[in-house]
Amino acid sequence: MLEFEILKKHRYSDARLGRITTSHGAIETPAFMPVGTQGTVKAMTPEDLIASGSEIILGNTYHLYLRPGHELIKSLGGLHRFMNWPRPILTDSGGFQVFSLNALARVTEEGVKFKSHLDGSMHFFSPERAMAVQQALGSDIMMTLDEPAPHDADHATALKSMNLSTRWARRCRAVHSPGDQALFGIVQGGMFEDLRTQHVQEIGDFGFEGYAIGGLSVGEEKATLLRIARHTAPLLPAERPRYLMGVGTPGDLLALSSMGIDMFDCVMPSRNARNGSLFTSEGKVNIRNARFRDDPQPLDVHCPCPVCRNYSRAYLRHLFLADEILGLHLNTLHNITFYQHWMANIRQAIREDKPFDFIGVESFRLEKDGG
């Protein structure tokens, strides 16, 4: 079960304020989904995630399939119960990790054969298998299995992957039984506008509950990502949620929201946090920096998170340099809260028909880092 309402359109952009309703609760859009790779958003409890303002998280099917195994998770009541996360979960199909963690993954019409990065054992994902695994996990939103083309794929290669992705999307749709779990399709077509247009035409009438733009943030220039997103977003069914996978910086989320994208996921806030790279309304800072040595100030006076209310930059720097687990936790809590606060500002600007000019926007609009 998945419902999507558009509550308001933005006066100053193509952004939409919306609400997705699932059987595990509602999600205000545009929404950012923290990534919970192995059945946990790294260094966060579910309570932390709720406090951060997160309403939905992403689970990685590839990782959970390999360890602890989807059947095990199913036998323990599904992923929500396993990880004690009561709110919505979106699972990817596993395809992206199959390809990105397996240089030698072998694709046939039937599916993709790959080696476990954990123990080298051989595995096979077909569209049907990817669906079955996600059904066992019990996510609220499942994704179709697709074959993303490399960012530098030529037109013929991108076309071939796209056509395979269409056939796989049809097979996923065929085995999808309507029920609690919604299914989103993924638009491919590489960095080529004509292919993106063609792919939307091919899968747009498969009746997916939502549509994702895939195959971006895979190594291309930031300008290319924005060009393809800007081209593709308005082609997607307007009455369905639009999801851009694997992006990005706060500036990216703002730019892409303004194009009418409703959902995002990215490891950036959590991974950066564990490297000491923290988001603030004045841009990214590295907490290792010697200038923070005796700095009693909070990381970001505009941030509502408990880290910025209770700890100094000097303390965060100390924890990081001393390799303390608490440092990884506090950094992650801050970054994810920063992202969610940023999304809340985007939603508020849409609701109140204000331009996207809130605190910190200049710092991130200029950012080059898309990784």
* Choice between 94 and 370, CB closer to a copy of itself: 94
Shortest Cβ 315–a copy of itself spacing (Å): 6
What whole-number distance in Å separates Cα of residue 20 and Cα of residue 3? 6
Task: Name residue 142's beta-bridge partners.
Answer: 183
CB-CB neighbours of 181 under 10 Å: 23
Q: List the end-to-end C-alpha distance of the chain, in Å, as a whole number.
A: 33
Binding residues for a copy of itself, rule: CB under 8 A, are: 38-40, 42-46, 67-68, 72, 75-77, 82-84, 293-294, 296, 310-312, 314-315, 317-319, 321-322, 324-326, 328-330
Shortest Cβ 213–a copy of itself spacing (Å): 30
Shortest Cβ 42–a copy of itself spacing (Å): 6
Q: Which amino acid is at 349?
A: A
* Choice between 24 and 199, CB closer to a copy of itself: 24
What whole-number distance in Å separates Cα of residue 142 and Cα of residue 333? 26
Shortest Cβ 116–a copy of itself spacing (Å): 13
Shortest Cβ 101–a copy of itself spacing (Å): 15
Catalytic residues: 92, 265
